[in-house]
Amino acid sequence: MAKVRGLLLAGLLGVLLTGVLPVSAADAAPAPAPVTGVAITQVGDLAQVPPGPVLDPTQTDKANAEKTKKNLIAGGAAVVLLAIVFFGRRHRIKRRKAQGG
């Protein structure tokens, strides 16, 4: 069994090292030949890429103001809830100590 395993390993190693199997299709394709001595005279035939979206600064400022307002409201609610939890626990601890527990 060891001989068969060794022969298989040697055969696979030989195939990989000799390059019988192509690595990828891109490596097997021939490279295009460089064009020399030809001048490009017309540039207008190229397709024009449309410009990106146009952003309106007033809409951007309005959206930023709304986002800031929402963040402030969420932050205020978080602070109120944190205060309720903090003072509720403090009140519960004082009540337990007063009862002798």
Report the distance separating Cα 2 and Cα 9, nearest Å. Answer: 10
pLDDT at 26: 53
Average pLDDT over the chain reads 80
DSSP summary character for residue 48: P
In the numeric block, the tokens 């298989």 are attached to: 8
Q: Is 101 helix (H, G, I), strand (E, B) or coil?
A: coil
Cα distances from 36 to residues 33, 39, 55, in angstroms, run 9, 9, 44
Q: What percent of the chain has pLDDT above 70? A: 68
pLDDT at 2: 74
Are residues 7 and 13 in contact, defined by beta-carbon separation less than 8 angstroms? no
Residue 43 has pLDDT above 70, yes or no: no
Residue 44 has pLDDT above 70, yes or no: no
Report the distance separating Cα 81 and Cα 50, nearest Å. Answer: 50
